[in-house]
Amino acid sequence: MDTAKKDPLLMTAKVLTSIVRIGLVLGMIALGIGIVGVVIASLGWLPTSISDHIAIESDGVVTAANLWLVLLPLLGAGIMVALSYDFVTRLAKMIDTVGEGDPFTIANAGRLTRMAWLALAIELVSFVTSILGDWVERRFDPGEVEFNSEFSLTGIVLALVLFILARVFREGARMRDELEGTV
Amino acid sequence: MGSDTDTEPTRIVVKLDDLLHARRMTLTQLAERVDITLANLSILKTGKAKAIRFSTLEAICRELQCQPGDLLGYEGEGETAQDA
């Protein structure tokens, strides 16, 4: 669209969200493979050559018996990536409506509400995953296994901002409806 | 206020057709002379407008050399615009 070419902010937003979505899809695929791999390994279905190799590489720390512990945080990460993908997809659709020149719609208000709940959910899963990560770490001797996970208040604030924005857009849509039919 | 008036059609009558005919002007020509899109003038002409700005009213009256009362009428219950 012509407006896109003349609007560097919109173009940047579209490109960035596309890149992020591709990255998230790749992340989901990688985590999916990882989860399947861990399940296979912990069920002892790996060929001995591979499981021996893992045991050697990890100095005997990771064995088929305790590999399942890794599964829980992996699942947490997978859920977070999926939720993030949903979030960025909604955002991409909103950016499209801005490009079309008609952003104040009930649909966008709905998208913002959904994005707010997703942001909250991501923070919650992140919190649970970090606790799981800590728990898994403690099952091993210190320093042998490390999980990095963050919990920040930023996500909660983001969710609040999005809820308020959804209200703003709902009101904007109402005002736009009233304006329609004014000549 | 808004939601009530949405359910019934307005009693305001727009007599743009008659005025255009009297001035021998088409809607397109009027749109070119005033700063209003043809689409909006069409909405006005077909009685689908919900509101009109004073600036629009002024522009139309200027070009068609008429009074607002020549352009707009009110049809009470059981009346036609001509009766009032």
* Burial degree of A10 (CB within 10 A; 0-12, 13-18, 19+): middle
User: Which residue of chain B has the CA closest to A183?
Assistant: B52
pLDDT tens digits, one per residue of A35-54: 888 888 777 777 777 767 76
Write out the two tokens for A43: 């069920």
CA nearest A87: which of A13, A9, A17? A17
Residue A163 above 90 pLDDT?
Answer: yes
Q: Taking residues A2-10, what's their average pLDDT?
A: 73
Q: Is residue A155 within 8 Å of A108, Cβ to Cβ?
A: no
Residue A144 above 90 pLDDT?
Answer: no
CA nearest B21: which of B51, B59, B66? B66
pLDDT confidence tier of residue B4, bands split at 50, 70 and 90: very low
A8 sits in the region (left: phi over 0; alpha: psi -120 to 50; else beta) called alpha
Distance CA A94, CA A86 (A): 13
Q: Is residue A148 within 8 Å of A112, Cβ to Cβ?
A: no
pLDDT at A35: 87
Q: Which 51-70 residues of chain B touch chain A by CB within 8 A? A: 51-53, 56
Residue A152 above 90 pLDDT?
Answer: no
ipTM: 0.76
pLDDT at B42: 93
Higher pLDDT, B82 or A72: A72
pLDDT at A78: 92
DSSP structural state of residue B73: E
Contacts of B56 in chain A (CB under 8 A): 183
pLDDT at A150: 62
pLDDT at B71: 94
